[in-house]
Amino acid sequence: EDNIFCSEEDNSLYFTYGGKSNVLQVKELNYQVNMASQIPWYENLAQMKMPWSWKSDPHSHVSIIQNLNLKVQSGQMLAIIGSTAGGKTSLLDVITCRDHGGKIKSGQILINNKPSTPQLVRKCIAHVRQDDRLLPHLTVRETLLFIAKLRLPKFFSDSQREKRVEEVIAELRLRQCANTRVGNEYLRGVSGGERRRVSIGVQLLWNPGILILDEPTSGLDSFTAHNLVITLSRLARGNRLVLLSLHQPRSDIFQLFDLVLLMTSGVTVYSGTARDMVQYFTEVGYPCPRYSNPADFYVDLTGINKQTAEKEMESQKRANILAKLFLEKVKGFDDFLWKATEGDNAATTFSKQRSHLNPEEAINMPQHSSDQLPGVLKQFTILL
């Protein structure tokens, strides 16, 4: 059993981000992928297609994200939910400048009011991918110490690195398995939830202000997934901006989110607080049935049913109508969030979350330039 809170209170904060507050904005984003570039060259040649025609075919360009807007700031956790192939992972890849094979047709992404660049992303954002890429033969503590030597600035002493590792272990509730091997499908080690938290800890070592996670609960049982999202919620309360994608979270996980972005086929059908989503869809004519999980019901409602051509056309038409209706509802709002009342705004939520933090809990990460980080030669010697 993945017991996270065996000896510690679940509301304690060990590792608060002490830097400046961050704001992430996406404005009128349109993103396309050239499907022809995904086909191996030999298959194109087999169809008698010449290399110069592969990328010039207008029918090969598919819109993955259309007219998407969002704004989220430190102290908030935003969950991107939706059916498969809804554009969730593509959005995270575009934000983190990992959009290989695609192209931003229009729109912009701003980090603290600055245009997003790979250099700015590396400085501000930690990206936890869906699959765990860890060394199975190392223990949890050895894994974090190894990464600390590779990533923390050169002016950190060994004792400071060890202290940072212990702080991350405490924050992610990994003390009970700190000396257990990470393991994988072939080597027995920590549980799936603990391994997922180690992956988060690897990124948390350098104390980022923005944490982005792609399907963090994938492959986990409901109990472990719930406790993992509790951990992410606690990290958001520590003055971090947490952005994650999920397929269909269960009801108790859904209630932990501050903000929700519901996507289908690359368009937004709802963006606002989790507690207001049922009220919004009720007002537009789609009330959630009693005893139903709102996340499940509305993901199914907005999903594209491809069983038959008729069902696909019908579901696509409904999704387009809901997307157009939502754009009309939030027209003129700077944060692109639907609000039930004037008082329910992101600033109120943020101030409530920050009120739980004590000033002495903040751990400041010294500002450093690229020449203060371990160089290639230093990292190579560590690998040896």
Domains belonging to the chain, first-starting first, are: 16-383 (3.40.50.300)
16-59 tens-digit pLDDT: 787 889 999 999 999 988 766 666 666 766 766 665 555 556 56
The ranges of the chain with pLDDT < 70 are 1-15, 35-42, 44-45, 47-60, 341-371, 384
User: What CA–CA distance (Å, rounded) separates 298 from 68?
Assistant: 19
How much is the pLDDT for 99? 76
> Would you state the pLDDT for residue 100?
72
Q: What is the DSSP letter of 217?
A: T
Q: Six-digit token pair at 209?
A: 């202000």
Q: Given this model, what pLDDT does residue 36 score? A: 64
Q: Give the Cα separation of 259 and 243 in Å (integer).
A: 10
Which residue bears the tokens 């999903």? 303
Sign of torsion over alpha carbons 346, 350, 353, 355: negative
Q: What is the dihedral of CA 65, 273, 130, 39, to 10 degrees?
A: -10
Do the bridges between strand 23-34 and strand 267-273 make them parallel or antiparallel, or are there none, so unpaired? Answer: unpaired
Give Cβ neighbours of residue 96 (< 8 Å, ≥ 6 apart): 121, 125, 127, 212
Read off the pTM. 0.81
Q: What is the pLDDT of residue 3?
A: 35
Q: How many CB atoms lie within 10 A of CB 166?
A: 16
* CB proximity list for 12: less than 8 A, separation 6 or greater: none
Whether the CB-CB separation of 168 and 3 falls below 8 Å is answered with: no
Q: Comparing C-alpha atoms, which of 14, 80, 15 is closest to residue 217?
A: 80
pLDDT for 355 equals 39
Q: pLDDT tens for residues 253-276?
A: 999 999 999 999 999 999 999 999
What is residue 146's predicted lDDT score, i.e. its pLDDT? 95
Residue 262 region by backbone torsions, left for phi larger than 0, else alpha for psi between -120 and 50, else beta? beta
Question: How confident is the model at residue 16, as a pLDDT?
Answer: 74
CB atoms within 10 A of CB 3: 15
pLDDT at 356: 41
Amino acid identity, position 52: W
Q: What is the pLDDT of residue 363?
A: 42
